[in-house]
A and B are shown apart, each in its own frame.
Chain A
Amino acid sequence: AQTVTQSQPEMSVQEAETVTLSCTYDTSESDYYLFWYKQPPSRQMILVIRQEAYKQQNATENRFSVNFQKAAKSFSLKISDSQLGDAAMYFCAYTTNYGGSQGNLIFGKGTKLSVKP
């Protein structure tokens, strides 16, 4: 069974600094998708960034980028120039077309990120 592990329950970063959130996953599939979702306090979860496993190039969205290491099954999120609005719970998620799933997401436990002014 596929699993997603986020080993950092909480992280803290100084405003304007860079922080990296870790995520590892386990799968026997070769074709899958990885996501980072962000849930600000008392707000809806939103997609931050996605990565297709068949793409070697790491995805980037403005200040957010990933380090996708397929062989190591690692998918870390780097937030550059951290802002107060980045404070949130971050979830790493996985999905695949195989095994009968149709977009069903498998989540990690989440990492709570605090940003200090």
Chain B
Amino acid sequence: EAGVTQFPSHSVIEKGQTVTLRCDPISGHDNLYWYRRVMGKEIKFLLHFVKESKQDESGMPNNRFLAERTGGTYSTLKVQPAELEDSGVYFCASSQEVRVSHEQYFGPGTRLTVT
């Protein structure tokens, strides 16, 4: 069984540009989470999808971030326009059930650098 995959693994863009990150969860996992780790800080929750619906987007920093999960399969996270403080590692995770005790499987992350 394939794990959670993320694309690209690295992205370097200039301030003001747009970047789209992609996450493919484990097949059959209805729950998909996005997290972000800024250098030297904690990994922070961004949002949670259940199938194609946004269950919780309380962690999204501002309206420059847009997440979608069309068809309840893969998800994209678009940053437009990117700012310097958006640099960090963006993780995606998926889980089969919404029970909080259920293990979340993480992707390798996308390292975003905004210059």
Question: Beta-carbon contacts of A54-81 to B below 8 Å, as 1s and 0s?
Answer: 0000000000000000000000000000
* CB-based nearest B residue for A9: B40
Are A102 and B43 closer than 8 Å at their CB atoms? no
Are B107 and A105 closer than 8 Å at their CB atoms? no
* CB-based nearest A residue for B46: A104
The answer to whether the Cβ of B14 comes within 8 Å of any Cβ in the partner chain is no
Chain A residues with CB under 8 A of B58? 100
CA distance A110 to B103 in the complex (A): 19
Identify which of residues 72-110 in chain B touch chain A, using a CB-to-CB cut-off of 8 Å. Answer: 91, 95, 98-109
Chain B residues with CB under 8 A of A97? 100
Identify which of residues 28-48 in chain A touch chain B, using a CB-to-CB cut-off of 8 Å. Answer: 32-33, 37, 42-47
Given contacts A103-B33, A104-B33, A107-B43, contact A44 B108 (CB under 8 A): yes
* CB-based nearest B residue for A108: B42
The answer to whether the Cβ of A91 comes within 8 Å of any Cβ in the partner chain is yes
B48 CB contact (under 8 Å) in A37, A45, A47, A104 = A104
The answer to whether the Cβ of A20 comes within 8 Å of any Cβ in the partner chain is no
Are A44 and B106 closer than 8 Å at their CB atoms? yes
The answer to whether the Cβ of A23 comes within 8 Å of any Cβ in the partner chain is no
Are A107 and B101 closer than 8 Å at their CB atoms? no
Chain B residues with CB under 8 A of A109? 40-42
9 residue pairs, one from A and one from B, having the closest CB atoms: A45-B106, A107-B43, A104-B45, A103-B100, A95-B100, A44-B108, A107-B42, A47-B103, A109-B42
Q: A103-B33, A105-B33, A109-B40 are in contact. List 6 more A-B contacts (CB 8 A).
A: A33-B101, A44-B105, A44-B109, A103-B95, A103-B102, A105-B45
13 contacts between A and B (CB under 8 A): A44-B4, A44-B106, A45-B91, A46-B106, A52-B101, A102-B48, A102-B55, A103-B99, A104-B45, A104-B56, A105-B45, A107-B43, A107-B44
